């Protein structure tokens, strides 16, 4: 829906977007870090659209707590790269107001754990504004930052928030698993007319991957099949996708062929790709770093049962973080999270034939 804003600017940047997958571009690529891919996306969109700006704690003078915004202050200046006070509720609310009058903010939470103190503006205002205003006021805003266990940050700084926030209608939730997707999905997020929650992993910011030099945007709601297989469908998103790929390599040596699906977004969810795969393999394992109770993984498993009940040879197995607060100990944290061992055990159980 196109929203007419009080500034006189019509929000319609997503009109006729050219969506292109990284692997279909051809041409040269560079191997760059995850954080660099996000910065490239933000910088390219800020050059393209003067309404886009970045705000958050330490994003300007310090180049970002994790150096994601390195060099952006020098290029765009302090009116578009804005250091904020340590007040997530305050600057999130300010950014929502800016979006309502025609700007397109990118609001960085140093950690999505800190977004909990901004729950009212980001959950009670941004997702509901278009609906409550009868289509008059949209909220084109991107909230982004680190999600999940970041490596010995303790229980209160290790929230995996998609289990909380995916319950709210009106938001789009993006969780990339590699640098190429991080760039393509971020560009799409910035151009989208709805609130987008962009969830990154601190543990992946230094991960390198091949990113095309050309312009591309990855559409929301379109999963990627990372590995083809015939015996079991592994569904995941974000960092755990990489664990699924490792597990698939191990299981292949045991004669179990896994198809690995990276959903990329969980709002919207690409069920057709999942259904097509499960109808081929007759088996599914869902891997989700959220806690199991009321999780996106639980919803996905329910949908697979609904649409593929007659195709399944077993119930859908699920791999989650253990149902305890995130441990501080490095070894306990690794055991707590979805990991290769847990995924392999789930696939063996799901594909077991007596």
Active site residues: 88, 157
Residue with tokens 């290029």: 75
Residues 224 and 133 sit within 8 Å (Cβ to Cβ): no
Residues forming a β-bridge with 199: 145
Q: What backbone phi and psi angles, to 5 degrees, belong to 176?
A: -75, 155
Return the structure tokens found at 237. 């998103």
Residues 217 and 191 sit within 8 Å (Cβ to Cβ): yes
Residues 89 and 121 sit within 8 Å (Cβ to Cβ): yes
Residues 130 and 4 sit within 8 Å (Cβ to Cβ): no
Q: What backbone phi and psi angles, to 5 degrees, belong to 147?
A: -125, 140
DSSP per position, 81-112: EEE--S-HHHHHHHHHHHHHTT-EEEEEEEEG
Q: Count CB neighbours of 12 within 10 A.
A: 15
Residues forming a β-bridge with 143: 107, 197
Distance CA 187, CA 172 (A): 14
Given the DSSP bridges, would you call strands 172-174 and 196-200 parallel, antiparallel or unpaired?
parallel
Q: Is the bond preceding residue 27 a cis peptide, omega within 30 degrees?
A: no
Return the structure tokens found at 210. 């091949």
Residues 271 and 223 sit within 8 Å (Cβ to Cβ): no
How many residues belong to the chain? 354
Cα distances from 350 to residues 225, 313, 344, in angstroms, run 20, 8, 10
DSSP per position, 235-248: EE-STHHHHHHHHH
């Amino acid at each position: 829906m196109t929203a007419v804003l009080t500034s006189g600017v019509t929000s319609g940047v997503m009109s006729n977007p050219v969506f292109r997958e990284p692997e279909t571009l051809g041409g040269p690529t560079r191997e760059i870090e995850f954080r660099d891919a996000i910065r490239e996306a933000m910088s390219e969109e800020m050059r393209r659209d003067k309404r886009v700006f970045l705000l958050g704690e330490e994003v300007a003078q310090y180049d970002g707590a994790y150096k994601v915004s390195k060099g952006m202050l020098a290029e765009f200046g302090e009116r578009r790269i804005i250091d904020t006070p340590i007040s997530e509720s305050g600057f999130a609310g300010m950014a929502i107001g800016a979006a309502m009058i025609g700007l397109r903010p990118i609001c960085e939470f140093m950690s999505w754990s800190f977004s909990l103190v901004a729950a009212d503006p980001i959950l009670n205002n941004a997702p509901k504004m278009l609906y409550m205003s009868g289509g008059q006021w949209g909220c084109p805003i991107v909230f982004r930052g680190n999600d999940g266990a970041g490596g010995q940050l303790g229980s209160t700084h290790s929230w995996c928030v998609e289990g909380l926030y995916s319950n709210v209608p009106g938001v789009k939730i993006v969780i990339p698993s590699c640098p190429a997707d991080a760039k393509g999905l971020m560009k799409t997020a910035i151009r989208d007319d709805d609130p987008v929650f962009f969830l990154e992993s601190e543990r992946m910011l230094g991960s390198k991957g091949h990113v095309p030099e050309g312009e591309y945007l990855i559409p929301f709601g379109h999963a990627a099949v990372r590995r083809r297989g015939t015996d079991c469908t592994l569904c995941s998103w974000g960092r755990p996708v990489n664990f699924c790929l490792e597990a698939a390599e191990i299981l292949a040596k045991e004669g179990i062929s896994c198809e690995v699906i990276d959903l990329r977004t969980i709002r919207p969810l690409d069920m057709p790709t999942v259904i097509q795969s499960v109808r081929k393999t007759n088996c599914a394992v869902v891997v989700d770093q959220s806690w199991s109770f009321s999780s996106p993984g639980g919803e996905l498993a329910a949908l697979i049962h609904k649409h593929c009940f007659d195709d399944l040879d077993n119930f859908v197995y699920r791999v989650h973080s253990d149902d305890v607060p995130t441990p501080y100990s490095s070894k306990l944290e690794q055991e707590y999270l979805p990991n290769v061992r847990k995924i392999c055990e789930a696939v063996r159980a799901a594909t077991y034939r007596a």
